[in-house]
Amino acid sequence: MTLEEIRSGAVLLFDKPFDWSSFDVVNKVKRWTKAKVGHAGTLDPYATGLLILCTGKFTKRIPEFQDTHKEYTGTMVLGATTPSYDREKEIDQRFDTSAITVNMVAELPSQFIGDIMQSPPIFSAIYVNGRRAYKKARSGHDFEIEKRKVSLYEFEITAIRLPEVDFRIVCGKGFYVRSLVSDFGKALNNGAYLSALRRTRIGNYHVKDAWTIEQFTTYVHGEEQKAKDL
């Protein structure tokens, strides 16, 4: 694939690094390729994994990727909560986990499978009365976000090291893994927050086939050098 082909239209897969926003990746690719670039679904800065970018005429395909199933792997920590439901904010409450057993954790996921009503985190990009929820939350506003119907197709516990629990899920559009983790803690009459998250698949696209930022940088520089040598 040449830079000219990317500018014309392409689907690019990236493995988003930790602590990068999705827009950091979009802006880098825009600058490097001089192409029109759009994303097919963001990841939180503390999440890693598959980010699909569409360039040129392929930006029209973005909705088809947004509507497909997504797979994530992650780790939650029981016994504590944070306002953001993840590591972005400091722990605000702690709970005794001595009554929680491995069996309790292992048997709980089935309760969440299917169409469920979910409250998005207040630290999210959802618009509330014309303003991003996370901006209202950071300003100290007291508000709630209406529950929305979302779909969870698979929920598997892959390892239990209490208070840490590893999991894998497959979900639909608009699903907040942070909210699932928060609700999981509540279902145990306890608390929980998300400590790690990685998106591994969107539809038939897998993170193992994605560029790293370093690989793409090397590729762009190589293409630019080829153009100079012509």
Are the C-beta atoms of 209 and 59 separated by less than 8 Å? Answer: no
Q: Which two tokens stand for residue 191?
A: 């608390």
82-113, pLDDT tens digit by residue? 988 999 889 999 999 999 999 999 999 999 99
Rounded Cα–Cα distance for residues 230 and 228 (Å): 6
Tell me the β-bridge partners of 54.
Answer: 11, 38
Choose among 195, 185, 193, 178: nearest CA to 104: 185
The H or E element containing residue 46 is: none
pLDDT at 129: 64
Choose among 68, 16, 26: nearest CA to 47: 16
Which residue numbers are catalytic? 44
171-224, pLDDT tens digit by residue? 999 999 999 999 999 999 999 999 999 999 999 999 999 999 999 999 988 887
Query: Residue 116's domain spans which residues?
Result: 70-202
Query: Where residue 212 sits, what CATH number does that domain have?
Result: 3.30.2350.10
Q: Same structural domain for residues 130 and 82?
A: yes
Rounded Cα–Cα distance for residues 129 and 127 (Å): 6
Q: How many domains does the chain have?
A: 2
Q: Which two tokens stand for residue 178?
A: 């942070």
pTM (global) more than 0.85: yes
Q: At 112, is the secondary structure helix, strand, or coil?
A: helix
Q: Same structural domain for residues 33 and 90?
A: no
